[in-house]
Chain A
Amino acid sequence: MNGPSHWSFDQDPPRDDTLARVLRAGDRSAGGAVDWEQLHAAIMRAAAASSGAGPVAAQRPWWDVLVQWRRFAAAASVAAMLAAGGLVWRGESGASDLDVGDAAPESVALARVVAAYPDDDVLTSLLQTARNDDLASWGAQ
């Protein structure tokens, strides 16, 4: 066994036929015992089954889609909270003369928002509804 003993990392050395022959004498490849058609069929069956449950977008369950969008949903929630906070802050600074009395906190917040946007009819009607709800709940007790 006197094969080449130099080493180079730039190119593969020539095969050492003598060493290969010795190793082969101790090697028992199992390739001859494999039923290749059966193995092939098993792989293809499993592949078909896995792709049936698979990665095609139209077949994805709704919770997968939900999970995919969770980061956007979280970011949107944070943005909405910041926007609401900003509106409340502006309301406080623009309607300092608002008489809050014993009103519910939600109504006060809404009133401050309305004060910041006095010409918005939708907000005004919301405030009115909130007041009615307060009165209704008091009356029910």
Chain B
Amino acid sequence: MVSAGEAVAVAASPPPAPPDAEEAAALVRVQGGDTEPFDLLVRRYMRAAFTIAFRIVGHREDAEDVVQEAFLAALANIRTFDTSRRFGPWLYRIVVTRGLNFRKSRSRRRTESLEFAPPASDAPGPAREAERSDLRAEIAAALARLPERQRMVVQFFELDGFSGAEIAEMLGISPGTVRWYLHQARQTLRGMLAHLEESAG
């Protein structure tokens, strides 16, 4: 009998989606040494790359640094890139790797966790604010109890709208494994956060 863990390991990955004509042309030109069309790639993928980086490093400035580094690393290695594939998933993988490395190197530094950070602008009054703060803390604590990959998977899927295949490519695992992590993360979070359903509404 095949266990769930073994089953997800052999799950087949779908074929990667090809880039659209504009992106394919830009990639070919960038591979030829022309950095001008790189602009298109930056504009197209910068925001999603930032979202991923922010999920991992938790700070805006750090996430911006990670995104910039990831784009430069992609440019430096662009000749190794298969232009029949979309640039985004490859870039996202670099962002994840760079983000995790960045976080490791930063671990010595004391940083403020964004999940527990006070809200930025709208000031609804002390009582309401305290309530929101408690809510945030509870959700952050529930997420913190998840294993790293489960946490990333559930956030990328439920909050950022990435598909299982996209997340799989980002994290270097199979789509089946992503779905398994998602399933486990959901079970855990539903158990811990069910009582917050009304508060969150």
- B68 adjacent to A46 (CB under 8 Å): yes
A46 and B140 CA atoms in complex are apart in Å by 35
From B47, B159, B197, give the contact of A27 (CB < 8 A).
Answer: B159
Chain A CB within 8 A of B109 CB: no
Q: Which residues of B contact A19 (CB under 8 A)?
A: 154, 158, 186, 189-190, 193
A79 and B47 CA atoms in complex are apart in Å by 56
Chain B CB within 8 A of A20 CB: yes
Chain A CB within 8 A of B42 CB: yes
Using CB atoms, name the residue of chain B closest to A59.
B33
Chain A CB within 8 A of B182 CB: yes
Chain B CB within 8 A of A135 CB: no
From A25, A34, A47, give the contact of B71 (CB < 8 A).
Answer: A47
Per-residue CB contact flags for chain B residues 184-196 toward chain A (1 = under 8 Å, else 0) read 0011011001101
**A-B interface contact total, Cβ < 8 Å:** 151
- B158 adjacent to A50 (CB under 8 Å): no
Using CB atoms, name the residue of chain B closest to A6.
B183
Q: Which residues of B contact A5 (CB under 8 A)?
A: 183, 186-187
- A39 adjacent to B197 (CB under 8 Å): no
Q: Which residues of A contact B88 (CB under 8 A)?
A: none
Q: Which residues of B contact A32 (CB under 8 A)?
A: 120
- B158 adjacent to A15 (CB under 8 Å): yes
Per-residue CB contact flags for chain A residues 3-19 toward chain B (1 = under 8 Å, else 0) read 10101111111011011
Chain B CB within 8 A of A61 CB: no
Also in contact, A1 and B72, with CB within 8 A (given A19-B189, A25-B135, A40-B43): no
Q: Which residues of B contact A70 (CB under 8 A)?
A: none
For the complex, count residues of A whose C-beta is within 8 A of B. 43
A23 and B55 CA atoms in complex are apart in Å by 13
A9 and B59 CA atoms in complex are apart in Å by 33
- B190 adjacent to A43 (CB under 8 Å): no
Q: Which of A13-51 contact B (CB under 8 A)?
A: 13, 15-16, 18-34, 36, 39-40, 42-44, 46-48, 50-51
What's the minimum C-beta distance from A46 to chain B, rounded to whole angstroms? 6
Per-residue CB contact flags for chain B residues 100-119 toward chain A (1 = under 8 Å, else 0) read 00000000000000110101
Chain B CB within 8 A of A56 CB: yes
A9 and B67 CA atoms in complex are apart in Å by 31
A20 and B185 CA atoms in complex are apart in Å by 12
Q: Which residues of A contact B117 (CB under 8 A)?
A: 28
Also in contact, A22 and B196, with CB within 8 A (given A29-B54, A44-B39, A55-B33): yes
Using CB atoms, name the residue of chain A closest to B121.
A32
Also in contact, A7 and B46, with CB within 8 A (given A25-B196, A30-B60): no
Top 9 A-B pairs, shortest CB-CB distance: A26-B139, A9-B176, A25-B200, A7-B183, A30-B60, A22-B200, A12-B164, A20-B158, A9-B11
